[in-house]
Amino acid sequence: MTSSIKTKIHVEGLSELEKALQEIPRATGGNVLKRAIVKPAQMFADHARELAPKESGKLKQEIKVSKPKVISAGKAAFAAAMREGATRAEAGHAARAANAAAGGAGRHAVVSVGPTKGAFHGLFQEFGTARHGPKSFMRPAWDALSPRFPKMIAETLWEEIEKARQRIVKKADRKSTRLNSSHCN
C-alpha cells in the first residue's frame, strides 16, 4: 500500500477501556486491539472500493486492509530515536525507558488501508495528473466514515474485551475441572 499519505485516529479519554485491557493478558490485549481496528478499516476499504473509478476494475480489487500491528510505547520511542539519528544502543535505551514509564499501557494498534503496490495508479486517480483531474475515492470515503470510527472502535473494544474475559473464565473452568477430576481418581 502506498505510504505517501497517513492519517491517524486517536481514541482518547477511555480510561475504563484501558484499565480493562490491562486486566487481561498482554498478548490477548494486543489481539483485542487488532480486532477492534479491523472492523472500521474494512468498512473504510469497502466504501473506498464503491467510490473508486471503474476504468479497469483492478483498482477496486486492490484496495486492501493491511495486517494490523500493535506498537508498544517502547517500539514507538525506538523508531522516533532512530529517525532522529540516534544509535541502536541509544534507541534501545529510549525504548526501555518508554516501556518502563508506560507500565504496560501506551500500546496502540496500526492498520493501513488503500491501494496495494499492484494498483499504484490509484494515487494518480486520487490526486490527478497533468492530463486529467482527480477522481478522488479515498478522501470522500474517509470524510463520510471517519466521524463514526472513534465510537465504533470503542464499542468493538468493549465487545472484544468481554469476549476475551469470557474465554479466560472458560479456560480457567476447564483447567479447574481437569484438576478436580485428576485428584478424584
pLDDT digits (tens, 9 = 90+) for 7-57: 666 666 567 887 888 888 888 888 998 998 998 999 999 999 999 988 767
Region 52-68: mean pLDDT is 87
Chain centroid to CA 101: 23
Task: Please give the grid coordinates belonging to residue 89.
Answer: 544502543
Q: What is the pLDDT of residues 120-136, one digit of tens each?
A: 888 888 999 999 899 99
Burial class (CB in 10 A: 0-12, 13-18, 19+), 91: buried
